[in-house]
Chain A
Amino acid sequence: MAGLRSLVVPGWTKIIPGLVFCMVFAWIVMNIDHVLGKYHKADVASAAIPALEGMLAEATDTGDADTIASAESKLAKQQKALDTVDGTLGDTWPVATLLYQKFQFKYVAMLLIGGILIRNIFGIPEFLKPGVAVARPLIKPGIIILGVHYVWSDVVRVGGTGMLLAAVFIFGTAIVVMWLSRKYGVSDGLGGIMGAGTGVCGVSAIIATAPVVGAKPRDMAYAIGTILLFGTAMLFIMPYLGQWLGISEPQFGAWSALAILNTAQLIAAAEWYGEEARNTAVLINAARIMLIPLIVVFAVWFYGIKGEGKNIGFLATMRAKFPIFILGFFALIILNSAGIAFLGGPKTAGTPLWAMDAVYKWFFAIGFAGIGLSISIEDMKKAGGTAFAIGSGAATVKMILGLIVVLLLGTELLRVGGG
């Protein structure tokens, strides 16, 4: 019994209402997304079928077997999409296409925007808050499961490129921010958390760095407010900007992983942009978050911080600040790369890896519900002071430089093949 009790989180009953609320919210939105996607596909199919029938007739006349096979396969797929909504040729669902394709109103957007509206218009009752806070980290199991989408060649090519880019961007940002902060008389505490926060992964990095550099509460509030403000602004601006610029999904994934200041928002933006964007962003972000302990070590060295009771040596910092869960992500990449027959793969129906892949989106959905419901405009309004000046400068420079770099690298180097 004692062993079982040790597995139970203290105060777990307080978590239940908020977590259930997030699950119900995610379930409703996922169903809306499913229905909207279904009608959008039917709308596209209704428009595409006549053209495909024409192509099939033309190919039949010329006897082009390859074209016939291709047209028949496409026609069957489109007919299936139309049948799913009991539609007939000529039916149209323009609103579904407008929302789903033009406005990209998918489950990520619905959860985030819906969550923000609920939080800031109606507010979250106190009894729901603990569970909502716990819902956010549920993205982590989703990330671990996403490991089944990669093979080692992806890790070496995309992850290697990402690690190099992340290292340059992270240390470049941190060094410049900390140096400029010191030059202009900003306190070590604020300079340290802003260097780490704008360099690595926003609030997560601030939490890792704040105790080490001795950041003051007001500075932390300013810094977190600033990171959330720019992270949220980028979350909603970058996907549309990416579409407008016509950049590919893998390029967008890399761009968001380099430029969006906060992790939650970067995963949301990439998932929103598309599957390939998300695959690239998650892999580069895995490289990025592994650098959290190194940036803390750098801050200790840069500010000449002495221990004074704190264990801030290299190994102790690596142990305390390393994101252990990311090892689970790499373990699944190893399993997927090993080609073990009974494990199957994410696209082989009925296999263990397929089953795992089927649930990742639910972890993401509940996590995004938690993120949306946690985005408080009041928190973002706390952005201010020197932190705001540093954050706005770093955000703008990283966005522009990140875009230039991914445009120069092209799509193929950043595309995750998944075996």
Chain B
Amino acid sequence: MRARVPGRILLAVDGEPHTNEAVCWALDLALGLDATLNAVHVRDPYLKQFSTEIYAQGREEYLEHVSQCLEETAQMARASFESTVKEYLEARRDAKEPDWTFDVLDGDPAEQLAAHIRRGEYSMLVIGRRRRTRFAALKPRDLAERLSSVGSSVPILIVPEPVRDETPTDH
């Protein structure tokens, strides 16, 4: 029977402010359950496919720009994650820092995260979710929804972005 207590928690981060709430929840769980936290950022090369647009000029420059942006976003995601961990631990002086790692992957985020989960190395996924406007509700499923529909074999905790001016969740 599969262990129900998370031994390794997978946390998806993108460096955006709405992810911070998910980081805090993942830290809560890692500390409470004595689990290892593996934060992952996926560099999505989606934009590169458009370099073959028929009249595209300066393709190389465009590809370099996209690569540079993805690299910067990955660095920002790591910095944001580390900063949130630091702030979290400073706020809880008695808490011991959980074991954590940070990895950067390349590919479609949903596919990469699903593949990670399928390998059976994790017992839980924590992911943040941006607040959606009414217009966005008409749009495609976001990453959290896509992941929950790929037939994940582990529980997924989807942490919504806090509503502005709302008191932050007390973890």
Contact = CB atoms under 8 A, between A and B. Distances in A.
Note whether A and B form a binding pair. yes
B56 A203 contact: yes
B140 A203 contact: no
A292 B55 contact: yes
B70 interface: yes
Given A204-B56, A207-B50, A378-B140, 8 more contacts: A136-B54, A139-B54, A202-B53, A204-B53, A208-B58, A210-B65, A320-B58, A323-B55
B152 interface: no
> For B53, B58, B135, which residue has the most chain A Cβ atoms within 10 angstroms?
B53
Interface in B48-66: 49-59, 61-62, 64-66
In the complex, which range does the number of interface residues on chain B fall in?
A: 20 to 34
Contacts of A378: 140
Interface string B118-161: 00000000000000000110011000000000000000000000
A203 B136 contact: no
Nearest to B138: A381
B88 to A, nearest CB: 26
Interface in B66-84: 66, 69-70, 73
Interface string A131-161: 0011011011000000000000000000000
A52 interface: no
A216 interface: yes
A105 B62 CA distance: 37
In the complex, which range does the number of interface residues on chain A fall in?
A: 35 or more
25 contacts: A133-B49, A133-B52, A137-B53, A137-B54, A201-B55, A202-B53, A204-B54, A207-B53, A207-B58, A207-B62, A211-B61, A211-B64, A211-B65, A217-B47, A217-B73, A220-B47, A224-B47, A263-B53, A264-B54, A289-B55, A293-B57, A367-B54, A378-B140, A381-B139, A382-B140
Nearest to A132: B52
A47 interface: no
A383 B149 CA distance: 22
B53 A323 contact: no
Name the prevailing secondary structure of the A interface residues. Answer: helix
A322 B57 CA distance: 7
A384 B139 contact: yes
Q: 4 shortest A-B CB distances, which residue pairs?
A: A211-B65, A204-B55, A381-B140, A133-B52
Interface of B: 46-47, 49-59, 61-62, 64-66, 69-70, 73, 135-136, 139-140
Contact of B55 (A215, A263, A381): A263
Contacts of A210: 62, 65
Given A320-B61, A384-B135, A217 B56 contact: no
A203 B50 contact: yes
Interface string A318-334: 00111100000000000
A140 B52 CA distance: 12
A206 B57 CA distance: 10
A48 interface: no
B149 to A, nearest CB: 14
A134 B51 CA distance: 10
Nearest to A208: B57
A221 interface: yes
Interface string A337-366: 000000000000000000000000000000
Contacts of A217: 47, 66, 69-70, 73
Nearest to A264: B54
A134 B56 contact: no
A319 B73 CA distance: 30
Contacts of B66: 217, 220
A313 B149 CA distance: 49
Contacts of A208: 56-58, 62
A388 B138 CA distance: 13
A140 B54 contact: yes
B57 A207 contact: yes
A316 to B, nearest CB: 11
B70 A211 contact: no
Interface in A46-97: none
Contacts of A381: 139-140
Interface string A20-49: 000000000000000000000000000000
A207 B59 contact: yes
Contacts of B64: 211
B19 to A, nearest CB: 14
Contact of B58 (A202, A211, A263): A211
Contacts of B135: 384, 388
Contacts of A264: 53-54
B50 A224 contact: yes
A388 B56 CA distance: 22
Given A133-B52, A210-B62, A204 B57 contact: yes
Interface string A260-273: 00011000000000
A80 B51 CA distance: 47
> For B51, B58, B139, B140, which residue has the most chain A Cβ atoms within 10 angstroms?
B58
A22 B65 CA distance: 30
Given A207-B62, A217-B69, A384-B139, A263 B54 contact: yes
